Amino acid sequence: MEQKDFIPIVQLCEHYRVEISFFNDLHDMGLINITTLEKTSCLHQEKIRDVEKMIRIHQELNINTEGIDAVFNLLQKIDVLQNELNMLHNRLRLYENDYK
């Protein structure tokens, strides 16, 4: 991974108007992985979408980091189940087409 793929946490705090402690709490709970590059705490850019969800959950619903952990894990399970449902629908269509 290249350094350009990482965004400094301080920059994210300014952009999203959250405290550094919010990111540290998410990291401590295992929801994000903070990487230190040249003495700067950074987040990989591919995790920005997840962080934006977590920030919205925190700010709009006033949910603490423990609640974010629970909600985010449930959202991930829903995504897995939705993908599985789509796969099963596709398989079912194959069988339905074979019997026509």
Instruction: Supply the CATH number for residue 27's domain.
Output: 1.10.1660.10
pLDDT band at 84 (very low <50, low <70, confident <90, very high): very high
Beta strand extents in 4-92 (DSSP E only): 6-8, 34-37, 40-44
Give the range of the structural domain holding residue 46, as residue numbers without chain letter.
Answer: 3-98
Q: Could you report the per-residue pLDDT of 31-64, keeping only the tens digit for each? A: 999 999 999 999 999 999 999 999 999 999 999 9
- Report the candidate in 33, 55, 53, 52 with the shortest Cα–Cα distance to residue 44: 33
Residue 31 gets which letter from DSSP? Answer: S
Name the domain count of the chain: 1
